[in-house]
A = this chain, B = another copy of it.
């Protein structure tokens, strides 16, 4: 028999909805387990001058930073030209596609996700909650000569019926040159040994943890955003705590709800933005990069802003002690990454921005309403401030639905913190604004089945939106209620 896909998808969505309302343990139980693991999995990170990073060398000619094996990644110079401005910047070049994967398994009809407590050198707090597998290709093809990646076998040669999601997605386009990782969610039925540092959690438990500061890492958030979570059936499980914001969000998750713009109109808007984009990039030597200079141990922008390239020496504890050096990007300031949201005809819409970033594979992706580091604009005239930044920062606290400081990828970025926010608004934009569109969440979900539509910051916010269906700051079962 031919498979008509919608049925299977609905069943999975309903199972995920059960998972979103299921909370077996208290957040405090989780935190006890997590804290215990943190003590055992200590890591020390020391700064090292760029020229003295263990295992790395700077190219004599170009000044590029490369690992001696030729693997992992390199830091190169990029020259950027657009009709408005030209600049140079260092950028991470990592052409290989890694795997970010989460295993899902039903326990008594409730899907659970296998999550990992993982140490990354760039995490301010060392340990964060990661996907089941978070591995670069160098990791899993053995360039590391380290331990085998646990559970990797479930994400290789996976029978197609077990694949819930499988799509390559971009990462930070300002810091990575055309980096993509494969985001995978795979269902298992068989018994699985839960190794030290791993734990089955319901979607509801993960949603609660998302509201904790700096706990659920970027790799987990991007994979979570690809879950086919339509919120179906959450109403039944949720009951009394539901408010009108959540009702509008549930309707927005439902692919049968209407939206201000049709799929075709959104496609045309994206095509227009990508055709219009005139950002041109080319490689240029990292040594002597105009606008940047070397300090005793780092490469910094002449203004002191944007970001620096630093070196670190990492010593990771656990059963085996391992030690390695690597360059990292250390951003300047704490960013603000926010969706403005508003109901139209009872359906919550998200204000999405078409963003050019130098490292995107395809010129433009859809990003948050606001994505910036406000300090970078402090010295500029008021007209240069990003649109809607003041709507976000000046919002009535009652209309702030999500507000948590979260980190970007701790394997490449050092203390890269952003304040993730979801904020209700009454503001509007012109229907034909070249940069912004109101979209329903199910429209974002449809695009998330394809590569290169939503940038990694927008994907994090989609995961945060899911977390508000049955919890969140104003919910009755969220972490704030539980403590």
Contacting residues, chain B, for A451 (C-beta < 8 A): 271, 362
- A1 adjacent to chain B (CB < 8 Å): yes
- Contact between chains at A163 and B268 (CB < 8 Å): yes
Bitwise, A88-128 to B at CB < 8 A (1) or not (0) is: 00000000010000000000000000000000000000000
Least Cβ distance of A29 to chain B in Å?
A: 34
- Contact between chains at B272 and A166 (CB < 8 Å): yes
- Contact between chains at A449 and B267 (CB < 8 Å): yes
**Chain B residue with minimal CB distance to A9?**
B264
**Chain B residue with minimal CB distance to A280?**
B95
- Contact between chains at B2 and A257 (CB < 8 Å): yes
**Chain B residue with minimal CB distance to A259?**
B2
- A33 adjacent to chain B (CB < 8 Å): no
- Contact between chains at A160 and B3 (CB < 8 Å): no
How far is it, in angstroms, between the C-alpha of A160 and the C-alpha of B273 when the chains are bound?
13
- A260 adjacent to chain B (CB < 8 Å): yes
Least Cβ distance of A210 to chain B in Å?
A: 25
- A5 adjacent to chain B (CB < 8 Å): yes
**Chain B residue with minimal CB distance to A277?**
B97
Choose from B2, B168, B267, B344 the contact partner of A260 (Cβ within 8 Å): B2
- Contact between chains at A274 and B2 (CB < 8 Å): no
Chief secondary structure at chain A's binding surface:
mixed
- A353 adjacent to chain B (CB < 8 Å): no
- Contact between chains at A165 and B2 (CB < 8 Å): no
- A399 adjacent to chain B (CB < 8 Å): no
- Contact between chains at A3 and B449 (CB < 8 Å): no
- Contact between chains at B160 and A268 (CB < 8 Å): yes
- A389 adjacent to chain B (CB < 8 Å): no
**Chain B residue with minimal CB distance to A265?**
B160
**Chain B residue with minimal CB distance to A166?**
B268
**Chain B residue with minimal CB distance to A347?**
B2
Contacting residues, chain B, for A430 (C-beta < 8 A): none
How far is it, in angstroms, between the C-alpha of A295 and the C-alpha of B320 when the chains are bound?
64
How far is it, in angstroms, between the C-alpha of A194 and the C-alpha of B368 when the chains are bound?
45
Contacting residues, chain B, for A158 (C-beta < 8 A): 268
How far is it, in angstroms, between the C-alpha of A461 and the C-alpha of B165 when the chains are bound?
29
Bitwise, A135-168 to B at CB < 8 A (1) or not (0) is: 0000000000000000000000011110111111
- Contact between chains at B258 and A1 (CB < 8 Å): yes
Given A160-B269, A167-B267, A450-B450, A258 contacting B362 (CB threshold 8 A): no
- A275 adjacent to chain B (CB < 8 Å): yes
Least Cβ distance of A171 to chain B in Å?
A: 15
Q: Which 7 A-B pairs have the closest CB atoms?
A: A2-B258, A166-B268, A5-B262, A160-B265, A4-B258, A163-B268, A166-B271
